[in-house]
Amino acid sequence: MTKVLIHEVGPRDGLQIEKATVPTETKIAWIEKILESGVDVVQLGSFVNPERVPQMADTEQLFRYFASAERKPSKTALSGLVLNEKGLDRGLGCGVDYVCMGVSASDTHSRKNTGMSTEEALSRIVPMALRAGAAGARVQVSVMSAFGCGFEGPVAFDRVMRIVGRYVEAGLKMISLADTAGHANPAQVEELFTKLRTLAPDVLYACHFHDTYGLGLANAFAAYRVGVESFESAVAGLGGCPFTAVTGGNIATEDLVHMFARMNVRRDVELDPLIDAAKQAEQFLGRPLPGRIHVTGPVPEHELVTV
């Protein structure tokens, strides 16, 4: 079995929708806990207009803090999301070496999220991705609303595959499908990723599922079954896109890590720091958060079943 990669997006996707601004020092404390767990990537924030997403106003400050020599993680990469050329300039300017960017397969969601149609966004994202790669950054491109749209409903596979095809033609080999509206189901996930792996088998595929309708973890398992290697999640199930119709949180990182540990797929990510971070977020926000393992704890070690 391929070792799966865990990409924590809580500091970005998890917090972007929260109305109460989380102070920078609080974010730092949560991120330090997450780093203790040994996840592979942590997304510190996004380089967007702070007037539209005030929660992300300190993204550059976070990168400069964690990129300093004495704090830079040895095992964990730090990623940042960009939506346009200005955001990419800001990211590269503060030393981001793992850049994420994407295009929505839904024209309506694309216009609400970026002010551009899908085609307009794609014509800009591909050159941006190539420029980021030429600057020495690792680049992951995504297709948002890949499994359905809260405004438009179903999204045709062909539309997703066309965008992926444009990425592949440009030589981009890290590609994520995001279920922004939470509409995906496991059978659909298996079918679409199987088609994509046939189209471009040498791509490292990632997935990003929201648990809006309760299928997030099932969809992640379906993606794993067909060879997806990278999984994006947020501690405590935080998150949601502020520019979709019905917002739901991400898969909880501690739940995802617990599932892969129980399957004996990945046992080296530490749950305790993730649980601590989830509880801290819950306490700060003053409400129960949707993750499960930070509430129940993991299955006791002696009850784990080897598969």
Render pLDDT for 223-265 as a digit per residue (tens, 0 to 9): 999 999 999 999 999 986 655 545 568 999 999 999 999 999 9
**pTM of the predicted structure, to 2 decimals:** 0.94
* Domain tally, the chain: 1
Cα 28 to Cα 17, 42, 121: the distances in Å are 18, 12, 32
149 is catalytic: no
Mean pLDDT over each residue of the chain, to the nearest integer: 92
Alpha-carbon span 220 to 110, nearest angstrom: 24
pLDDT reported for residue 303: 59
**b vs e for 285-307, b when ≥16 Cβ sit within 10 Å of the residue's Cβ?**
beeebbbebbbeebeeeeeeeee
In this structure, what CATH number is given to the domain that contains residue 73? 3.20.20.70
Residue numbers in the chain where pLDDT is lower than 70: 1-2, 240-248, 302-307
Predicted local confidence at residue 1, as pLDDT: 45
Sequence-ordered list of residues with C-beta below 8 angstroms from that of 92, at least 6 positions apart, any chain: 99, 132, 135, 137
Catalytic residue among 100, 149, 207, 241: 241
Q: What range defines the domain where residue 272 resides?
A: 5-303
What are 1-31's pLDDT values in tens digits? 458 999 999 999 999 888 889 999 999 999 9
Determine the pLDDT at residue 160. Answer: 96
What pLDDT is stored for residue 2 in this prediction? 56
